Amino acid sequence: VLPLLRGKWGRPYYHYPQLQSTNETLKQMAASLPEGAVVVAEEQAGGKGRRGRSWHSPPGGIWFSLLLRPAVHPLALLSLPLVLSLAVVKSLSGFFPELDWALKWPNDILCRGKKLGGVLVEVAAETEQVHWAVAGIGINVNISSFPPELEGRATSLELCRGKKSCRPCLLAAILERAEELYSLWCREGFAPLAKDYQALFLYRGRRVRVEEEGRFWEGKAEGVDDKGRLVLRLDDGSLRLLLGGEVTLREV
Ligand code: BTN
């Protein structure tokens, strides 16, 4: 079923019963497509997560990728996953305000403390110019159980609500909200979104451990700054600003 699209995104809209990965398919087609092109798959045989992980993508989820051509400096793209994960939570919490929503910096979407979705942005850029960004978004919607290795960490809307949800309705709302936040981000950067992100930020004020390229930082997570960087107060009182990219965050 095609979602009812009110914005510019979702044109063209490609829907497949099965793909290896919507990111891979969209990357291959990127050169000839305009901003806003969307690839959706009912299931992915080789869904990809961040940090080279695989992404469990059975039927019942929302697995899609979006083509973006932002006229920004490549470094600014580090806050794009934050913008998109914020858009997902804003639209899902609009439908289901009774559920407990949170964002785990930089790009995890949590419901009732467990991972409900994630964003994977892949980029083609030169030093000063972005050619395109493929933003893959995965949301566990109508999924009633997870394999043992994900049990306890992952959740779905079905598990949180106790019933199934209308996927095309959710996808349409997410595309609309993401388009709105993205165009604000293109014009003004992450600053106008920082407060909303911060309000949903899971570990605010809590002690965390961050792994960045094999190095570890421990301290209190003070929040997210106006560039989308994690503000970490180290034990010696100094501040460290961490960029998204290849970083993992844990509470200690
Ligand atoms: C993460 O949290 O590690 C990011 C997960 C991103 C998953 C989505 S599903 C649609 C798109 N295609 C992929 O292969 N991955 C992303």
Q: Would you state the pLDDT for residue 1?
A: 61
CA distance 250 to 237: 20
Q: How far is 252 from 243, CA to CA, in rounded Å?
A: 20
Q: Which has the closest alpha carbon to 170: 43, 37, 64, 74?
A: 64
140 is in an annotated binding site: no
44 labelled binding-site residue: yes
pLDDT of residue 246: 65
Distance, in Å, from the CA atom of 234 to the CA atom of 242, rounded to the nearest integer, reads 12
Confidence at residue 212, expressed as pLDDT on a 0 to 100 scale: 82
Domains in the chain, CATH or no CATH each: 13-199 (3.30.930.10), 207-251 (2.30.30.100)
Ligand 1 center to 246 CA (angstroms): 14
Ligand-binding annotation for 142, yes or no, is no
Quickly count: other Cβ atoms within 10 Å of residue 14's Cβ.
17
Q: Give the position, in ligand 1's atom list, of the atom nearest the Cα of 22.
A: 12
The two most distant CA atoms of the chain are separated, in Å, by 55
Mean pLDDT by 10 residues, the chain (252 residues): 83 97 98 97 97 95 98 94 98 97 95 97 94 98 97 96 97 96 97 96 91 88 94 94 79 81
Q: Are 56 and 47 in contact (CB under 8 A)?
A: yes
Q: Is 244 in the pocket of ligand 1 (CB under 6 A)?
A: no
CA of 54 to the centre of ligand 1 (A): 8
**65: Cβ below 6 Å to ligand 1?**
yes
Residues 51, 44: Cα–Cα separation, whole Å: 18
Angle between helices 80-95 and 167-188 (to 10 degrees): 140
Q: Any idea what the Cα angle at residue 197 is, between residues 191 and 203, rounded to 5°?
A: 125
Query: With a 6 A CB cut-off, is 48 part of the ligand 1 pocket?
Result: yes
Question: For residue 251, how far is its CA from the centre of ligand 1 (angstroms)?
Answer: 23
Indicate which atom in ligand 1 lies nearest the CA of residue 117.
Answer: 2
